[in-house]
Amino acid sequence: MSIGDETRKIVIAIDGPAASGKSTTARLLARKLGYIYIDTGAMYRSVTLKALEGGLLEHLRENPDAIESLLDNVDIAFDGDRVFLDGRDVTDAIRENRVSRHVSFISSLKPVRDALKQMQRNMGGRRGVVMDGRDIGTVVFPDAELKVFLIADVSERARRRYAELLQKSGDNNSVPSLEELEQEILQRDRSDAARTHAPLKKHEDAVEVDTSSLTIAEQVALVYNLALEKTAV
Ligand code: CDP
């Protein structure tokens, strides 16, 4: 029996910079708790993919309001670990580096933030959810019972992202170098933290966890124990 069956259900917000281990931790934690996992980064990535595929990206830099029509017609859904954009499985496509390069710009647009915040609140409204992103504890669910802020050294984060991209492509010629990835991650952290709307920042109540030298099992166990403290009745 998972603890979700016998104790009160809560919202767990996991925020932090790029490649700090949020999605791996959140996914495994949700499984252990019998909770729903919502990867909000996948939602921003899906909107970015749609803008790229629709040839809207260049146009948006001069006329950001053009995003409104895209948002009126976007459908993002999760089925287990798969992500669907307008009914199409985009789980792999949204992780491509061409999406990573533009996602911070798309995420800085206010209409995008407003639309996705509403979708996320609807998805998590019944509690029993682990949600990861940049602004979950600060903006989307400021009343989340457990807020965690994951960090890690940038060199370790670049190494993890490199391994992930390599595993997916199976060919290191198509994967950016470690140095390039480190620069892209730093650039994305800077844009996410500097933006006006819902910037990346640690909520004062969030528990900070540095995952630089933790294994996946260790970081999941750590957050699971924090969740047990919050759900105990
Ligand atoms: O996996 P990684 O940490 O690289 O990124 P992600 O969680 O997939 O998020 C991709 C991008 O979406 C971030 O760099 C942010 O620009 C944006 N994002 C956001 O603004 N707010 C969120 N709640 C989640 C993601």
pLDDT digits (tens, 9 = 90+) for 33-68: 999 999 999 999 999 999 999 999 988 988 888 999
* Residue whose C-alpha is closest to residue 28's, from 177, 217, 208: 217
Structural domain boundaries, residue 94: 8-224
pLDDT at 2 over 70: no
Measured CA to CA in angstroms, residue 59 lies from 39, 62, 64, 75 at distances of 28, 6, 8, 22
Range 140-161 burial, b when 16+ CB lie within 10 A, else e = bbeebbbbbbbbbebebbbbbb
Instruction: Copy the structure tokens of residue 78.
Output: 């999760």
Q: Which pLDDT belongs to residue 1? A: 45
Structural domain contains residue 191? yes
Q: Which pLDDT belongs to residue 126? A: 84
Structural domain contains residue 73? yes
d(CA 1, ligand 1 centre) in Å: 32
Confidence of residue 210 (pLDDT cuts 50, 70, 90): very high
C-alpha dihedral (35, 189, 165, 91), degrees to nearest 10: 40
Which atom of ligand 1 lies at the shortest distance from residue 95's CA? 8
> Whole-angstrom distance between the N-terminal and C-terminal Cα of the chain?
16
Mean pLDDT for 76-105 is 94
Structural domain contains residue 3? no
Structural domain contains residue 39? yes
Which atom of ligand 1 lies at the shortest distance from residue 42's CA? 8
pLDDT in tens, 141-165: 999 999 999 999 999 999 999 998 8
Which atom of ligand 1 lies at the shortest distance from residue 189's CA? 14
Of all residues in the chain, the percent with pLDDT exceeding 70 is 97
> Which residue is listed with tokens 């470690």?
178
Structural domain contains residue 48? yes
Structural domain contains residue 134? yes
Q: Which residues line ligand 1 (CB under 6 A)?
A: 18-19, 23, 40-41, 44-45, 103-104, 107, 133-136, 188, 192
Measured CA to CA in angstroms, residue 12 lies from 21, 22, 206 at distances of 15, 12, 10
Structural domain contains residue 140? yes
pTM for this entry: 0.91
Could you tell me the strand order of the sheet in which 146-151 lies? 36-39, 129-133, 11-15, 146-151, 207-210
pLDDT at 4 over 60: no
Ligand 1 pocket mutation, candidates 23, 44, 99, criterion most atoms within 8 A of CB: 44
Q: Which pLDDT belongs to residue 51? A: 97
d(CA 233, ligand 1 centre) in Å: 33
Structural domain contains residue 231? no
Q: Which residues pair with 208 in a beta bridge?
A: 149
C-alpha dihedral (146, 151, 156, 161), degrees to nearest 10: 60
CATH, residue 40: 3.40.50.300
Look at the chain and report how many structural domains it folds into.
1
